Structure 1
């Protein structure tokens, strides 16, 4: 098998070849390493390549398939982690045990060969940490691969691995998936495990999963890793029908709202992205769904941002000051990026009553969104406000920005994803077309625990748009 043939297969396809004995896991790992050598110098998606892969169970459904994990949150025993920060440079931190999700990736058969780039503490919609430099988009290296799972997205889009881990506290799976033309599912709160060390990171707004090139890979992987763990705070039960089975029977007649401008009261969305939402709405209507144009999703942005700001600042304070205490150092811009540090300083001013009020706001927004979704099975909206963010535009290390300026800039650009983190609803980025030479897709959200709807619609759109035939300029199979 050569790289061109390797890149034509998704994870399920590669796993089947390994199971039949047509190719070995060692051969696949060697091809993935060849792909890294070929594409990483141009894209800079990798922060660590493992000399000795962490192998998965050979009997797993994806046995022997090469895999990458993001350098944030998820822990792999003995593998150094930096979280995109200079404070952890030099391999000074390795977790003593693996996260439950990592163990499930291993049980699925995935063989981990490296860690991918993230902005510092995942606090950006692009991946350009001072510690590692910018990760570039395989479709256009002058623009961002998205963030905060931008390293994983670039690697999958370039054909290095068929799927890679990511996490999502404000859009960090969906934003890079949309930017790089991938499927990026943020599962419902509690659908995938976060323990044993975390249960409600960022006040429960974080979900962990992966990005893939095909819908069936996302469905199968979710089958393999979902379900409560022993100490789960949110023990969401497994579905009665496996996702990989449910996508084989196209749902019909779904009540779908299209919201070309995203959430009411947020910053305007670029016309080409709104037009893509409308085009997809027309396509879904032709597939037999009941589509309604609602322009905007009802929303109270001022309240949302009050709570969201407090949760993020508290998260940064815990990360920066907790890490500094553990390392015996003083937080400074020599170790942390300017806006990270200013966010942490702001987090120290967030009081317990302010967090309690934030949780109350969170509850109200969940109620509001639940009421809205009582009339719809899904809503289609843009994945962000503007197409193709140029590298350098969202600078987490900007020396002159206050944390308020940085927060406003960040959430104005990425204005359509984070509300679903607060509500805990599942949402997915689905590639559907190309605009101005880069992927343009849509985001689809559904009621809590209805990942089956999202994956079913993704499968229908995959067939209807044939996105898997597209290949970026930087790709393992290109000459």
Structure 2
């Protein structure tokens, strides 16, 4: 049997290697993961749908001999569907929904040998940068239980940081891989648009802004899983050329002398938290010491324009998600079916015209072109992942007076009035103020990663973000491997 301490010291590829050589069995790994979950999950509320018995049965029967053969894994309760398992998307309206077909990405994860143990906590419809759904209650950060693990893949990140699994499924429509990775001291890479499949039910998610991958403790686990899942499926709307070599081989490869620009500017003009500024300046010094060409520049994108375009997507997609509930409920959705903030977002989505939405969608190309010009002279952009360290649980929830206002607006359908008042812009800016750096890569489709290089004086993780040109995940993996070697983080562990 494997001891808890031994289990905790192994990343996914190391676990799979021990299975291949007969030193461990999938059943032993499964038992160790379940024991860890039962020990820590009551504190962090990361796993909301345990699927332990089916996982034990698969481990006993035998799993595919892929690169992750026998490795315990968790799915986010949003996005990639898993046949026969609850798929609530963090919403009371979907608490009884069970899909009958696996998503293509889940099929590829299983073909790689991963053993699915359960599903992780996420905010309703994955809409928030914190994970505090009314359906399941808040997920908690293993580094400090009073703080958020981020969102929307907060349950996934909390589970990996707490040592339940070495790697877990995640999704990113506005930063939802990178934000929780930064909050929990993990590595999180958002692949390029079209790098991984979104089928069979969807051709693209959130107009192509959303993409799924994983959060992990090691860079190589992320690289190897992207190798195992990349490539279009039948009917995919996007196609990217395959990389020159497997991403796993890039992790130990010298990145060469990269031209890296960094910025401490806040996209919305607000103040950047000193710890986040320190994270970037220290990363810049480290990069310089590794031989890279580093310079400070203004942000190469218009932060307010990005926020405006992203919020139009946010409102519109929420409205569409609420409308789609009718096929599950057998009737049109009502305010009590979803959380008050979600209903308000949907109301706002219905106050804009198709022309408004199309005009905002056109600006995505402006941002992509701006980054195209930026990459003529720089390989990467370095920024904070977040504008603040992980916030406290409940800090971003509506205050009592705001909750009363939400109830009034939702009861009487006053979305148009709220929009015309200008309050929306103010509230939206406040919402994005703490997470303003991640959305641009979703709009442009570029790959981006959060790397855990800094911890605050209070012991909270504080990640930094790197954005590369479209299709350049290889550059990110080479640099991430170099940083992981120069400033190791794998052995940093929260105490639970």
TM, length-normalised to structure 2: 0.92
Question: For residues 469 and 131 of structure 1, what CA distance do their matches in structure 2 show?
Answer: 34
Alpha-carbon contact 2:325-2:332 (below 8 Å) kept:
no
Q: C-alpha displacement at 1:262, in angstroms?
A: 4.9
Find out whether 1:276 has 2:256 as its counterpart.
Answer: no
The unaligned stretches of length 5 or more in structure 1 are: 475-479
Aligned-pair Cα RMSD in Å: 1.6
- Contact residue 252 and residue 287 of structure 1 kept, 8 A: no
Distance 2:323 2:438 in 1: 28
CA positional deviation for 1:62 = 0.4
Offset, 1:326: 3.3
SS in 2 for 1:444: strand
From 127, 132, 149, the equivalent of 1:128 is: 132
The Cα shift of 1:345 comes to: 1.1
1:307 maps to: 309
**How far apart are 1:405 and its partner, in Å?**
5.0
| Counterpart contact for 1:49–1:113, Cα < 8 Å | yes
Indicate which of 439, 444, 457 corresponds to 2:461: 439
Aligned to 2:375: 373
CA contact (8 A) 1:183 1:428 kept: yes
**What's the counterpart of residue 412 of structure 1?**
433
The corresponding residue for 1:286 is 289
CA distance in 1, matches of 2:288, 2:17: 35
User: Comparing 99-108 with 56-65, which one deviates more in the overlay?
Assistant: 56-65
Q: Return the alpha-carbon distance in structure 2 between the equivalents of residues 298 and 388 of structure 1.
A: 26
Q: Is residue 99–residue 194 contact of structure 1 (8 Å, CA) maintained in 2?
A: yes
Seen in structure 2, the aligned counterparts of structure 1 residues 396 and 29 have a Cα distance that, compared at 3 Å, is farther
The 8 Å contact of residues 433 and 465 in structure 1, kept in 2 or not, is answered as no
Is the 8 Å Cα contact of residues 12 and 167 (structure 2) preserved in structure 1?
Answer: yes
Match of 1:116 among 110, 114, 120: 120
**Aligned residue pairs, count:** 470
| More moved, 451-460 vs 351-360 | 351-360
Q: Does residue 362 in structure 1 map to residue 364 in structure 2?
A: yes
Equivalent residue, structure 1, for 2:89: 83
Runs of 4+ residues over 4 Å off in structure 1: 54-57, 401-406
**C-alpha distance in 2, partners of 1:218/1:266?**
33
Distance 1:325 1:228 in 2: 28
CA contact (8 A) 2:71 2:115 kept: yes
Instruction: Name the CA distance, whole Å, in 1 between partners of 2:219 and 2:209.
Output: 24
What is the correspondence of 1:210-359 to structure 2 with a 5 Å cutoff?
Answer: 210-263=214-267, 265-294=268-297, 296-359=298-361
SS in 1 for 2:428: helix
Deviates more, 1:130-139 or 1:253-262: 253-262
Larger strand share, 1 or 2: 1
SS at match of 2:54: strand
Counterpart in the other structure of 1:191: 195
Of 483, 486, 495, which aligns to 1:461?
483
CA distance in 2, matches of 1:324, 1:261: 43
Partner of 2:28: 27
Taking structure 1 as reference, are residues 32 and 466 closer, same or farther at Cα in structure 2, changes over 3 Å only? same
Q: Which moved more, 1:333-342 or 1:154-163?
A: 333-342
1:3 aligned onto 2:9: no
